[in-house]
Chain A
Amino acid sequence: MFALFAGASGGPATADDAESYAAYIGNPNFPIFADANNVIVDATPMTQESYPEVCVIAPDMSLVQCYAGHGFVEAALDDVKAHASQ
């Protein structure tokens, strides 16, 4: 799942931004959220000090691992594998 903390104009992301971004990346079959009120930062270890940020969420909605910066998607997938095998 994707979440946008800022929209195309640089301001808080809106539903229009989520719709446009989904179309831009080919209308994926996963959600693109607009986090206009920055609620994700309060609910996760994400800081918004750099982006992108990635968090792995387990089936019970617990936070497995989080990363900040580019190039951590593979690491996140490895975290999923490791957590699922526990």
Chain B
Amino acid sequence: MLFNSYPFFVFFAVVFGLYWWVFNKNVKAQNFVVLAASYFFYAWADWRFSFLLLGVTILNYFLGIYINRSEKPMTRKILLNIGLLQGIGGLAFFKYYNFFVTSIADAFALIGVQVSLQTLNIIVPLGISFFTFRTLSYLLDVEKGKVKPITDWISFFTYVSFFPSLLSGPIDKARTFIPQLEKLRVFNYDMAADGSRQILWGFFKKIVVANNIAPLTNEIFTNYQTLPASSLWLGAVLYAFQIYADFSGYSDMAIGFSKLLGFNITKNFDNPFFAQSIPEYWRKWHISLTAWLTEYVFTPLSITFRDYDKLGLILAIVGNFVIVGIWHGANWTYVFFGLFHGLYFIPSILNGTMNKKIKTDKTKLWPTLTESFNMARTFFVIMLTFVIFKADSMAHAFGYYKHMVSTSIFSIPVIDFASVAIVLLFSLLMFGTEWKHRYQDHGLVLSEPMDLKRWGFYLLLMLSLLFFGAFGENQFIYFQF
């Protein structure tokens, strides 16, 4: 059930009504409504996987309790490792088994040994990467004593399966989400209105911007061998816009729907294309994933390599980003995508600017020349690396790069100019609005006090959705991860 589908609207209207009008007096009843809705939502896609979700949740629920109860460090470690094995093992099996098998066979083939390994016809459960990361962080936090184990099963099951963020995040940690489940939610107009605005903004980004760009980039990436280089550059730029609008649009919707139910979940994007360096970009892109990996992968790795000074930091960063890449899926393109991003950190590690926070002047309408140059430089690198992300294989990516540097770069792009003009117009509206509200919670926190102006803008967005929205079957790109 996609957020941008009629069934979801009916589903959410029913949940909203039950939640605020029928079961609004008791926190357990409220949580139970969310839990039942979450399993219904998940089962709608494929009911068989709801048993997997249920099994994983039950196991982790008891592991959390027993890790806390156990006083022997060894027992705690064993219980934790069972949980880690289940989480990582589940991901490895569902997402990476065929990739491992074919990669091993390919590696042997390189040395002339033919190995016949059986691949499996596996369907990857939707959202597995997201709910697995939730359970993993919970167990790690319980083991370290950062959170108390959750004994109320409804709360824990709701945390793992919370439907607005179940399929594509953001990945909330138990220590920020569970306290919200422990208090009765009381309807708050400001929060609900803000959530509605954020949903509208998310819809605009996904349906109007991303979905209208998708057919253009698909055509360019499929026919890259016959198109001039100028078309390929345009395709690379448009794909960067598309993936941002698609994923951040989804996150806006997820956060907005959560707010309508009285929950504040983790912010996932903070205007990453206005970043002035690669480290800053990663502090703004898919924030919940990078925060998760920073805490549970990068920090332990950097402690392990601390004796090697900057080299140790480089190793930790590169290792962390290779995992970021692999997290996205079982393909060498993702591995290289992560690897390259890790390598981009090296200059800022060497000159000591990795953690430097750069802020643009809030009061200025336009960025300075230096800021513009830094933003353009960062975007250029990110855009080029997204080519690997979009490509089906590394051969496809390198083929695309090769065609990008031919002399036809100076020719007029072969593309439907009117369609490109329209998507660029909407992209401009998206980035312009987000630039103006770059220090706000999301793009549609309008500060204009005049109701007419605000409502005029909402109407513009709604009309753009209705008239120019591509409501087809385009799934959210991040559902596959």
Partners in one complex: no
Residues of A within 8 A of B (CB): none
B residues within 8 Å of A by Cβ?
A: none
